Structures are given as structure tokens and as C-alpha cells.
Amino acid sequence: FYPGKNLGAYGEGGAVVTNDAVVARRVRLLRDHGSEQKYRHEVIGYNFRLEGLQGAVLGVKLKHLDDWNALRRAHASRYAELLCEVESGGALALPREMPYAEHVYHLYVVRTDARDALQHALHEAGVQTGIHYPVPVHLQPAYAAHGHKVGDFPEAERQALSILSLPMFPELTREQIERVAETIKRSVLGSQLTASV
């Protein structure tokens, strides 16, 4: 329930859903200092109990989640409509929705081999973008003991260098989406960005 997610709390929070009684018990133990009974700790646990304020905020927001997700989907459709020409030219790859799932577009992530140039052009036009997860997992210090190096997972590395998150939130206006798309088109046509998708 990170505040920037589709269903965000006022602060940090999370939930676990399972139909496995063993997993459910283990999660309950871990969330409350390893304790099911006050002052009796069976395992080393954590303080992961959701505060009442966070629950109250989530309770109010949950009622709006379907509408917010529908707006995000509409915004994604508009981006796709406006950027299809750029995508068909090979300069940009847009997110795809698979037939077996309904995308809720927490982020709208595009790919281009000229990511930095495109991000700069959007920044110059006053459009905020993001580079989410710029370092592949296998190159993170936490996984150094596995001995992976640059080149071991070339597709993950390529993605990390080419992805760019465009503005995406329920309150995004049609005009804002059009401005983002026009800036991308100008940047692509002006500098002949190319992407291998």
C-alpha cells in the first residue's frame, strides 16, 4: 500500500492473501514480533501491523479503486492511440495487455534505446517522468554473493537501460496526455530516435 500505488495508504503498509493455513500462521507470527500470544515470541518477527489510520485511509480509497483503475486504463488507451505511429515506426515500444489479464497501469512504461534523450526532451517540456528499477536485480549488491556480472542477463540489462515511465494517475487530463504524446512525437521525429523492440 505504498502511497504511489493504485491503492495507497497514507504511509507504508501491505497485505498478504493466502488460502494456505501454514503460510497464514507464519505471516501472522512474523507481522507481530513472532507472537500470537502477548509476551510470548515463538520466532524472531517484525512490527508489520497496519496502523488504524492506514486502515481508515485504505477503507475510504478502496471504494474508488475500480473507478481509478478504469481511468488509468482509459489514459493508457489514449496514449496508445496517440503514440501508435511512433511505435509502428520502431522508435518506441508501448505496454501491452495480455488477453488473459486486465492491466491496471500503476505505471505506463515505454521502451526506447534513446531513453535518456527522450527523458531530457520531456523534462524540457515540463513533463515529469521516472526511471523505475534502473539496476537489474542480478547487479544489486544484495545479490553479489551469487557472482553474477554484467552480461549474465542481457535482456534484463537492456530493459533497465531503455525503460521510461510516463505520467500516469487517475486525475491526468486529456490535454496533459496529448502534450506528453506531442512532445514524444517531436522528439522522435526531430532526433530520429530508434529502438529495437
Q: pLDDT tens-digit profile of 166-176? A: 999 999 999 99
* pLDDT, tens only, 37-64: 999 999 999 998 888 999 999 999 999 9
* pLDDT value for 191: 60
- The per-residue pLDDT of the chain, averaged, comes to 93
pTM given for the model: 0.85
Positive or negative, the Cα torsion across 118, 123, 129, 131?
positive
In the chain, CATH 3.90.1150.10 covers: 65-191
118 touches 187 (CB < 8 A): yes
Q: Which CATH architecture has domain 65-191?
A: Alpha-Beta Complex (3.90)
119 touches 183 (CB < 8 A): no
Backbone dihedral region of 90: left (phi > 0), alpha (psi from -120 to 50 degrees) or beta? left
Gap between the Cα atoms of 59 and 24, Å rounded: 22
